[in-house]
Amino acid sequence: MDQDCLFCKIVRGETDTRFIYEDDTLVVFKDKYPHRPVHLLIVPKTHIRSINDLKPEHQDIVAKMIFKAPDIARNFKVDQEGYKLLFNVERGGGQIIFHLHLHLMSG
Ligand SMILES: [Zn+2]
């Protein structure tokens, strides 16, 4: 956990962010500044800065993030029309919050 990290604060329940889904590994919530009608963030509870910082022990976490995506897409009824999954990596890749997250966007 990183004291100053916004997503760590969200994970700890220190903001008014409502979770769409939560388990031991990850939380899912709506992007505060949505680019699409459906724009959700799948966020691991473990603080990992970006895809660049993945270590072998993170394999499970990343797999769970990706495997959760179709579940969430089905819940929002966008699985059939389709959706985009996106990892932004570092500033040049559009990453703004430096805590790993997977965007799920549709519409
Ligand atoms: Zn964090």
Tens of pLDDT, residue by residue over 24-78, are: 999 999 999 998 999 999 999 999 999 999 999 999 999 999 999 999 999 999 9
Report in angstroms the alpha-carbon separations of 10 from 51, 58, 70, 72, 75: 20, 20, 23, 19, 22
Fold of the CATH domain 6-106: HIT family, subunit A (3.30.428)
Residue 1 confidence (pLDDT): 62
Residue 62 confidence (pLDDT): 98
Q: Show me where the domains of the chain are located.
A: 6-106
Q: What's the gap in Å between 98 CA and the centre of ligand 1?
A: 7
Q: Would you name the residues annotated as active-site residues?
A: 101
Q: What's the gap in Å between 38 CA and the centre of ligand 1?
A: 23
Q: What's the gap in Å between 78 CA and the centre of ligand 1?
A: 28
Residue 3 confidence (pLDDT): 73
